[in-house]
Structure 1
Amino acid sequence: MKKWFYGGIPWMLPGLLLSQHGYGQFTLGAQLRTRTELRDGQGAPRTRGASPAFFTSQRTRLMAGLNSYRLKLGLTVQDIRVWGQDASTINRTTTPDNNGFMLHEAWAEILLTDTVSKNRRLSLKIGRQELMYDDSRLLGNLDWLQQGRRHDAALLKYETGAWTAHAGLAFNQNKENASGTVYNPLPPGNYAANTNGGPAYKSLEFLYVSRKLQQGSLSLLVLSDQFPAFQIDSTVTPAQKKWRAGVYNRITTGLYYTSQHDRLLWTAAGYYQGGTNGNGQTVSGALLSGYLQQAWSRQLSTGLGADFTTPDFDPLYGTPHKFWGYMDYFYVASPFAGKGLQDYYLRVKWKAGSRFTAGADVHAFFSAAAIDGYNKRLGTEADITATYTLTSVVAFEAGYSHFRSTPSLAKIKQVANASGNNNWAYVTVNIHPEWRIK
């Protein structure tokens, strides 16, 4: 029976179907990723005397793809849950807020130019998809989060050997309306907040242009996102937002540069953000970042970096976990009083053979703006991670982080009786097989 399942009729069916309608390659994949966490002050300083949290979350994904003549298709369904949230015999405890089964990706990419043109490609990608550009600081798939991030969008792509130009468009609605386009960005159910706890956008447009250089690349991003306008309904207690026609418009633009010479790698980025955010506030902010990395050998490299964000800047739809400490104190779901951030960090990476890698980061965090009655120092975080690849489809990862916080951080995080020592640890098992059928 085992031989029949893996090598027999079920795996032949996609190939037989494709042979009836033209040549193509069919891909099947799966992922099972568990993460066991000990949280003792993750996300914000813990209250003194509070007990640590301990749980295991699981991501289960099934992926399918088709690559045929002038057409690509991608499909990913996933289920995200915490071990034990359902009864062991029948699902009677899961509520809509806990229901983690969803369609993560469903897209088609159509090649608009003829296949005989090898150095110029124009294509249209439509549907639910991940958006990832440059270092994923402003647009990323947030893969660390078990549910990840995706967009319902249309993407026009023009690519040559040296140039990449992408234009994207998204327009969100809650349902098929009979009239009007009023959008509720916070409907009932399990809707994850955007970066820094902001509301979902109603519409989004962006242009991304990148040019390959001799030793690196230079890219430009211009992004505009619109949020539903609202008015405060004070006739109810507590007062609530009432969504109405009209939008608040925000624009973000800037450059990203990366280059390498011998074993020295450096990146730099600068972005400006203006307009009106999802809370109806006028903003004028900026982000500046720089990173320098030296590879001393094939096994060892060290890096030094700095990030600066003004109080008004919001890092859009990126991957904060990758940049501002693994304990997710900044620019995740928990705001920090809109004070902006200074982050100065050291990084060490070590690779022992082809299977084992380890890394350590140390961050010194400061507020970008003054905090009444307090200094700007927010704390220091140390992150240690290790990854062991058992096979091409099985990997293990573990990490430990410690955050030494200050009264200034407790003030802007609004945590009373906050502990100065905070810890977080995790162990991940990632199983990700893939099969290709021609």
Structure 2
Amino acid sequence: MQKIKTTLLNIQGLKKGSISSANLSKSIFLGIALTFLSHNEAKAQLTATGQIRERTEIRAGQGTLQKDGEKAALFNSQRARLNLGFTGYRFKVFMALQDVRVWGQDASSINRTTTEANNGIMLHEAWGEIMLNDTTSTIQNLSLKIGRQEISYDDQKVLGGLDWLQQGRRHDAIVFKFANKGWIADVGAAFNQNKELGTGTVYNGTNSAYGAGTNGIGTMYKSFQYAYIGKKLSFGDISFLFFKDDFNKYTNVTSGTPAVTTKVYGEGVWSRNTAGFYFNSTIARKLNLTGSVYHQGGHDKDGRSISANLASITSTLQVGRKLFVGPGIDYLSGDDGIKAVTATTDNNRFDPLYGTPHKFWGSMDYFYAANGFGKQGLLNYFFKAKYNMRDNLTLLLDVHGFEAANTLSNGAGGKLSSYLGTEVDLLVKYNLTKMINIEAGYSYMKATNSMASAAVKNVTNPDLSPQFAYVMLNIKPNFLAKK
């Protein structure tokens, strides 16, 4: 645009004698060319953004209780992303190259005699989207998106990008997308293989734990199919989700001396079905309610029949101009801790699929995160407060009371208290600029002996007062932004 302005000034300058007539044709040609390019720029748009995210963490029982007397862990992890996107006539393409590492995990110089084991570089996203409707269509959007992509819906309780985790979460999938007059309808599918094959479709999933689900599932799905329908209403949003993920069947084979049991994968899948509703509603000018109800059926990754449920509701009340407060509760079903669990026993543990557990069940990630939880389900009573001290400074406070949704066994035929602990999360967010954010958090939990028991975390001689703290710097440059 600046070149266009300069050219126009040069052309105008001819009238004042500031340029010669010999340069007139060059100026006019350049002006026409730049005008043509600017016209095409409106139709085709290139985006180039990035991210450098540094996070220093102090873990003294984060994720699970540590033993009394163990020292805290201190480390710095780093995410680096380069995002390139291009929008043209009836198509979009996007790629995100990502590197995730912990400071010091790699040698400071290259040793050509060894292979670096800590390979944190990967293609986080790489997708293309084709618009099936042209510019004359009355439909807002009708498109097909295919490739590696994040899949997130609603509050990300069951499907989310898991941005807290430095590597995030992505799926290799194809999604048909429709949007018009407040309606959204997406239909998606994925089909995974370990490698190119000449015969069969057996998939063991073990090489894909990087993108596996929540709750320490450890096995990547063989395939999935889902349908999502949402509607924007005058008082909020409502949506329905059906998600089916399939896991390759296997049998346990024992052989050798001493005996070793291994999984032998064969044809066929066990399918898990999750369906439910979500709503986000402003029922009064300053009161918002968000809730969801889901049911899981079918079979889990080990072939057990599933019958599990999730129910959640969160309230947010605006108090004054800057303060937002509200209580809420989450219920996730689990197995009865007293009854024996066998291969034929129904699985009553609700698994929050591929969501973002860090957002809901405490910053210390004790529940439904990578280390696994859920045998007895969870009741999460919480109170949240948010105070916008300034336009660029926000304070947040979350208080959680965690309780097992079912009975806990003491291992001797008796019962344990179902209460697991109380967690307090403090968070400060400061935007130095639009592209630079600084965040700091501190979490403290007062855990119970039930949390440490073999029925839950199975930690002997535990420290029942775990703590967690972090400082995070997030820089997200827009390389093509105008000054």
Output the TM-score relative to the length of structure 1.
0.92
Tell me, what secondary structure is at the counterpart of 2:215?
Answer: helix
1:272 is paired with a residue of what secondary structure? strand
- What's the offset of the Cα at 1:19? 9.0
| 1:333 aligned onto 2:374 | no
Counterpart in the other structure of 1:194: 213
The residue aligned with 1:272 is 295
Distance 1:140 1:387 in 2: 22
Paired AA for residue 197 in structure 1: G
Any idea what SS the aligned residue of 1:283 has?
coil
- Which of 228, 250, 253 aligns to 1:208? It is 228
Using the TM superposition, give the Cα deviation of residue 205 of structure 1 relative to its aligned residue in structure 2, in angstroms.
Answer: 0.4
Cα distance in 2 between the residues matched to 1:242 and 1:401: 43
- 1:434 counterpart SS class: coil
Of 444, 451, 475, the residue aligned with 1:402 is 444
Could you tell me which of 182, 191, 205 is aligned with 1:185? 205
Q: Which residue of 1 aligns with 2:472?
A: 428
Separation (CA, whole Å) in 1 of partners of 2:401 and 2:113: 43
Matches within 5 A, 1:314-333: 314-333=351-370
Q: 2:274 aligns with which of 249, 252, 257?
A: 252
Distance 2:113 2:390 in 1: 46
Q: Is the CA contact (8 Å cut-off) linking 1:216 and 1:259 kept in structure 2? A: yes
For residue 201 of structure 2, give the secondary structure of its aligned residue in structure 1.
Answer: coil
Name which one, 1 or 2, has greater alpha-carbon Rg: 2
8 Å contact kept, 2:140–2:181 = yes
| Aligned mates of 2:160, 2:122 — CA distance in 1 | 19
Task: Choose the corresponding residue for 2:96, options 52, 76, 84.
Answer: 76
- 1:396 alignment partner AA: I
Identify the residue that residue 430 of structure 2 maps to in structure 1. 388
Post-superposition Cα deviations, 1:259-298, rounded to whole Å, max 9, x if no partner, equal 1120110011100000111122211000000011101123
In the TM superposition, what is the alpha-carbon distance from 1:118 to its structure 2 partner?
Answer: 4.8
In 2, distance between residues paired with 1:107 and 1:297? 44
Deviates more, 1:232-241 or 1:67-76: 232-241
The residue that corresponds to 1:362 in the other structure is 399
Give the aligned CA root-mean-square deviation in angstroms.
Answer: 2.2
Matches within 5 A, 1:1-400: 23-90=43-110, 98-187=118-207, 191-198=210-217, 199-236=219-256, 237-260=259-282, 261-311=284-334, 312-336=349-373, 338-372=375-409, 373-400=415-442
User: What is the Cα deviation at residue 423 of structure 1?
Assistant: 0.4
CA apart distance, 1:437: 7.6
Q: How does 1:408-423 map to 2 (within 5 A)?
A: 408-411=450-453, 412-423=456-467
Summarize deviations over 1:276-322 as a string: whole Å, max 9, x none: 11122211000000011101123111011000000121000000000
Aligned residue identity for 2:179? E
Q: 1:86–1:92: 8 Å Cα contact kept in structure 2? A: no
Change (3 A) 1:132 1:18: farther
Question: How many residues are paired up?
Answer: 423
Q: For residues 112 and 459 of structure 2, what CA distance do their matches in structure 1 show?
A: 35
Question: What CA distance in whole angstroms lies between the structure 1 residues aligned with 2:477 and 2:36?
Answer: 22
Q: State the SS of the aligned residue for 1:134.
A: coil
Q: Partners in 1 of 2:285 and 2:391 — Cα distance? A: 22
User: Which has the higher relative contact order, 1 or 2, with Cα contacts under 8 A spaced 6 or more apart?
Assistant: 1
> Partner of 2:371: helix, strand, or coil?
coil
With over 3 angstroms needed to count, the CA separation of the structure-2 counterparts of 1:171 and 1:353, relative to structure 1, is same
Change (3 A) 1:427 1:21: closer
Kindly indicate which of the two structures has a greater share of residues assigned to strand.
1
Q: TM-score, with normalisation over the residues of structure 2?
A: 0.84
Q: Which runs of 4+ in 1 moved over 6 A?
A: 15-22, 92-96
Q: Distance in 1 between matches of 2:352 and 2:195?
A: 28
Amino acid at match of 1:48: D
- CA offset at residue 94 of structure 1? 8.7
Distance verdict in 2 for CA 1:60–1:139, change over 3 Å:
same
Structure 2 residue runs of 5 or longer lacking an equivalent are 1-34, 335-348, 410-414
| Unaligned residue ranges in structure 1 (runs of 5+) | 1-14
